[in-house]
Amino acid sequence: AGKSEKIAMWYTAIAALFCTFAFASAVKTPNVVVFLADDLGFGDLPAYGHPTQVSPNIDKLRANGIKLTQFYSGAPICSPSRGALVTGRIPARSGIVTGHPWPEDNLFRVFYPYSTGGLPDTEVTIGDALRPANYSSGIIGKWHLGHNGALPNDRGFDYFYGLPYSQDEGCPPYPCKWWSHIWPGVPVYRNDQIVEQPVNLSTLTEAYTQEGVEFIDRAVSDEKPFFLLMAYDQVHVPLFANPAFLNKSPRGLIGDAIIEMDTSIGAIMDHLKAKGLEEDTLVIFTSDNGAWTDQKQFGGNNGMLRGQKGETWEGGIREPMIAAWPGVIKPGTISHEVASMMDILPTVLKLADVPLPADRVIDGQDMLPVLKGVDDSGHEFLFHYRDRHLCAVRYKQYKAHLKVCAVVLPQTTLARGIAHYITHSRAYQ
């Protein structure tokens, strides 16, 4: 080629390179919002077959996104499940287990008001990992991974508003009788400060909604991408709903509670749209573990799945999971791929262009190929623990139960056991 042709080719290459840089700078770093229900069963939503429940905003997410039918919690109970979500690891790796044998272990499977431990500070959370990428990270709602030097701000997250543990772990709001002296009223924290005690459950979800909206506004004002975990307390017992939502559902109070949570989800989604963030935000909805069906009409529905919260039967660990992202996830799709709550951390880090921690095992997989419908999940095995004990293994389309792991004890039995243990154990003298 002649000199003029070479110059023309060089200009073409430079122009193409400039266009590439310009396009890259125009692409926004995606945001992630995770809506996490508490004790919501596989069969509690109309999207998963419930005949009378109403949840129009979750239904809208389902219509605009993908429904997973084989999505698993990291554990069948609150604290270890949430540990798996924020670390991407099997809870036994991070120490969110009890060393007590069954059935005494039922008293120590989650963090209680008197617990001195928490998620170890050596663990790398989503909040920790996103800091170098200039993300704003927040948790609005229930934490349940420790409150003595182990609140979300102590574990890498920029902002926290919510309960340190479940609403049944305090008197009030739990209707305690003779054991109220060992459990103070459940507090509400803003970062590391108590702003309300005891919690007013009738206004709690409304407060979460407002806090979520304000968190998004601050991130937009700071020109930062964000990760927001909206961790609702509904539908854990004792059930509650704002008076405006009472007697709205033919299911009774649990249906009312789901409608209130669904309304909050709709408000957050509307705010994302109003801020022009809908197409820049991956939204995920799921639950921490299965429904606690021992609570009868207050305990939720696991559909046709055997077992319940606290067990490694499918009813304790298989959860509803819906994801939406306009332009990325095809609307109205269904996936039967096996995926896990532990996949959330690797997925978020992949979107943020942040490498996985290299000094530890991460059990989760990037599930964006599943959500896009272009590949499988990468999970050949999923290991299901109850505390330190490996109880079941999922392998492809098979599941082996190695040990029958019993359900959580009824709350009255738990409370009596805790009171007895604190009164008589040398560990608390």
Largest CA distance in the chain: 95
Q: Which two tokens stand for residue 158?
A: 């920029």
Question: What is the edge-to-edge ordering of all strands in the sheet holding 381-386?
Answer: 381-386, 389-395, 398-401
Rounded distance, CA 225 to CA 281, Å? 9
Structure-block tokens of residue 281: 């935000």
The 3-state DSSP class for residue 67 equals strand
Identified catalytic residue from 19, 50, 144, 236: 144
Angle at 400 between CA 315 and CA 376, to 5 degrees: 80
Residue 271 catalytic?
no
Positive or negative torsion for Cα 52, 33, 396, 300: negative
Strand arrangement of the beta sheet that strand 159-162 belongs to? 193-196, 188-190, 159-162, 136-141, 226-231, 31-37, 281-287, 318-324, 66-72, 333-340
Q: Assess contact for 208 and 141: CB atoms under 8 A.
A: yes
Pairing of strands 226-231, 381-386: unpaired
Question: Is residue 144 annotated as a catalytic residue, yes or no?
Answer: yes
Q: If you ran DSSP here, which 8-state letter would residue 239 be given?
A: P
From residue 414, give the alpha-carbon distance in Å to each of 104, 106, 389, 409: 9, 7, 21, 6
The residues annotated as belonging to the active site are: 78, 144
